[in-house]
Amino acid sequence: MINKEIVIKLAEEKLDEKMFLVDVTVSKSNVINVFVDSFDGITIDKCIEISRHIEHNLDREDEDFELQVSSPGITENFRVKQQYFKYKEREIELVTNEDQKLKGLLKEAVEEGIILETVSNVKIEGQKRKQPVIKEYKFKYDEIKNAKAVITFK
């Protein structure tokens, strides 16, 4: 089986300062999946460059393998802190470890955790219509079960 740490090292050699490694998986049958992302978005050409670098530094004579390099996809859950940093000031949805589901604006993402701002319409006594109420939630990363970007078409 191909060593995952070697694949990680090879992938990281081709990342620039705006790029980050999201995940690397190596199956028992040597199917290698490398997921990379960037704060500016990842191009196909960059995925090809990383793929070729990894492929040229692994010996198919020792072990045959299948290699795929791609972005993690917009509908996938976040796997690393950098994805939170990337989606700052955008809408995300998350589930806490207590199974609380929240959807809102990612106001802040720092090394320690995030701040999520939600808006809900609430009936306030003395008002005819529901009024928007803004609430901020602070979470440490280990309090979040999963999170992902919300896709909107405007």
For range 95-120, the mean pLDDT: 97
Q: pTM (2 decimals)?
A: 0.88
Mean pLDDT, the chain, integer: 94
88: which 2 tokens?
């700052």
> For residue 46, is it within any domain?
yes
Q: Are residues 9 and 51 in the same domain?
A: yes
> For residue 76, is it within any domain?
no
pLDDT value of position 53:
97
Residue 105 to residue 2: CA distance in whole angstroms = 40
pLDDT value of position 78:
97
Which residue range(s) make up the domain with 23? 4-70
For range 121-136, the mean pLDDT: 87
Residue 51 to residue 49: CA distance in whole angstroms = 5
> For residue 154, is it within any domain?
no
pLDDT surpassing 80 at residue 154: no
Q: Are residues 59 and 97 in the same domain?
A: no
Residue 76 to residue 88: CA distance in whole angstroms = 17
The percent of residues in the chain predicted with pLDDT above 90, rounded, is 82
61: domain CATH number is 3.30.300.20
